Chains A and B, each alone.
Chain A
Amino acid sequence: MSAETQPAKFPGLVQETAGGGILSGPLEDVINWARSNSLWPLTFATSCCGIEMMSTAGARYDFSRFGFEVARATPRQADLIIIAGTIVNKMAPVLKRLYDQMADPKYVIAMGACAISGGPFFYNTYSVVKGADHVIPVDVYVAGCPPRPEALLHALITLQEKIKSGGKRERIEIDGSTLK
């Protein structure tokens, strides 16, 4: 197989040999490709968006088509938090702790207006965190209240693209020290 006919999305070059092929390419690209296709989300839902997340897991939308079907109940086995719902002041330390308990590499999707900015609860409330990115770093934002399952699927694919492209995560710096 020559370089022109190889599958476009697969990183590196495949050289055909008798009985198989030899893959050559930067190891990082291959690792990123593998990672992007097997992201295990944490079953984490605080409010309404959780129902749309369940719809996405259901048979019609079915996010297992993209490698997300293994929803884990413990953060230690998960790669991805989908923040589905409002984060309030009492929940913020819990969210931070969940994020800390996850093993690297870890990714975050902010699903819905509440997780992006507080959304409908931006004004006149005393208890809502105005955006989950005040607590943990977010990779992909999905708009909507709640977003449609298609929108969540698009976000998941966007995250895959982001991982495949090998983009470095932005790190938050506080007082000169870098937080993971």
Chain B
Amino acid sequence: MVEEIGTTDEGDLIINIGPQHPATHGVLHLVITLNGETVRKVEPHLGYIHRSIEKMCESLSYRQFIYSTSRMDYLSSHINNHCCAMTVEKGLQLEVPERAAVIRILMDELTRIASHVLWWGAMAMDIGAFTPFFHAFREREMINDIMEETCGARLTMNYMVPGGVQFDLHPNFHRRVKAFVKQLRNKLPEYDELVTHNAIFKSRTKGVGILSKEDAISYGCSGPTARASGVDCDIRKTYPYEGYEKLQFEQAMSTDGDTYSRYLVRMVEMRQSLSIIEQLIDNIPEGDFQAKTKAVLKLPKGEFYSRVETARGEFGVYIVSEGGTTPYRIKFRSPGFSNLSALDHTVRGQKIGDLVAIMGSFDLVIPDIDR
């Protein structure tokens, strides 16, 4: 544990936040240099949940390694699994059946909503409103029920496999998703009423923590964090995969780059995801849910990369294969790591009280950063 407390030569106070602190959403350790109430510098210390997943994957087969990615960004576990499955399919040159592709998109979008709903509750809680948390979990439990019925798990699903999905949809899936879409459509105005149009919330987030477009690009930010600064970086639009090019949806964008616009982008994204689900739920094609694959997968010698848009940004999987049944090297490009690197720049000059609001709007998942 780093013991860095005291004052600098210039008389600035150094304080630690974390690794055990509810506002860090996990075990992030921040060493903050303060001049009065103004933040001079923020230094994130990582590694408190470094589980050596990349190293571990080198000894797991191409079917097995996917499960460990559910535990990285556990709020977008479907989307992580999706990316891994896509990379393996790229290596095998495997075509995914149409039905499987549609199921994957549906699951991805449900996961995105579940993640954003949870973020909404947690962000409000960071700022000091506890009630939204309970509203958020009301809707989230409905998604968990859908996931549980079809995938067999509530949080770490491991549903996407190379070649398609593991099981066919549950007979109740259609009905439950319809009910959920209706419920969330009704409740989103309530969310807006509670938080979006709340005067206190607005005054705490508007104009706070501005990240310019140039900085967002140079720090490698992605996802809602970068889109709030005006970078059009939605992988679903710029490099469409799995049939996203056929769907009607808009990139949620803003140009202000402050905490409030990062909040608004996610609220718009929830509505976009709902509309994607509505477009697909009545048009799930019949057919196989999984392509025929060999029991033991062997990737040809080479390097494979694919990327997806998770709830937090661009997630990439890079596999180096030597032709065997296990990868030679795996590298995950996690969105949280790059977004966190922009935190120091964004927070400098802001008040210490705003640090938590800014961090909340970055939507960090620490195991995703540490891996």
Measured CB to CB, the residues of A under 8 A from B are 42-48, 50-52, 54-55, 58-60, 73, 75, 85-86, 88, 90-91, 93-94, 97-98, 120-121, 123-128, 145-146, 148
Contacts and interface: CB of A to CB of B under 8 A. Distances in A.
B47 interface: yes
A90 B48 contact: yes
Interface of B: 1, 19-22, 26-27, 47-53, 55-56, 58-60, 67-68, 70-71, 74-75, 118, 133-134, 137-138, 140-141, 144, 154-156, 366-367
Contacts of B366: 46-47
Given A55-B141, A88-B50, A88-B51, A124 B156 contact: no
A93 B3 CA distance: 12
A52 B354 CA distance: 28
Contact of B141 (A47, A58, A126, A127): A58
16 contacts: A42-B20, A43-B22, A44-B20, A46-B48, A47-B71, A48-B367, A51-B75, A51-B118, A54-B118, A58-B134, A58-B137, A60-B137, A90-B47, A90-B48, A125-B52, A127-B51
Nearest to B57: A124
Contacts of A148: 154
A91 B49 contact: yes
A126 B19 CA distance: 21
A146 B155 CA distance: 7
A60 to B, nearest CB: 5
A48 B75 CA distance: 8
A47 B48 contact: no
A178 B329 CA distance: 46
A50 B27 CA distance: 11
Contacts of A124: 55-56, 58-60
B148 to A, nearest CB: 9
B27 A46 contact: yes
Nearest to A50: B26
Contacts of A45: 26
Contacts of A42: 20
Nearest to A74: B20
Contact of A86 (B51, B55, B133): B51
Contacts of B56: 121, 123-125
B26 A47 contact: yes
Contacts of B51: 86, 88, 121, 125, 127-128
A42 B367 CA distance: 20
Contacts of A47: 26, 49, 71, 74, 366-367
Contacts of A90: 47-48, 50
B52 A73 contact: no
Contacts of A125: 51-53, 55-56
Contacts of A86: 49, 51, 367
Nearest to B59: A124
Contacts of B70: 48
Given A43-B22, A124-B55, 8 more contacts: A46-B367, A51-B74, A60-B138, A85-B49, A85-B367, A91-B48, A121-B53, A145-B156
A146 B156 CA distance: 7
Contacts of A73: 21-22
Contacts of B155: 48, 51-52, 146
A156 to B, nearest CB: 18
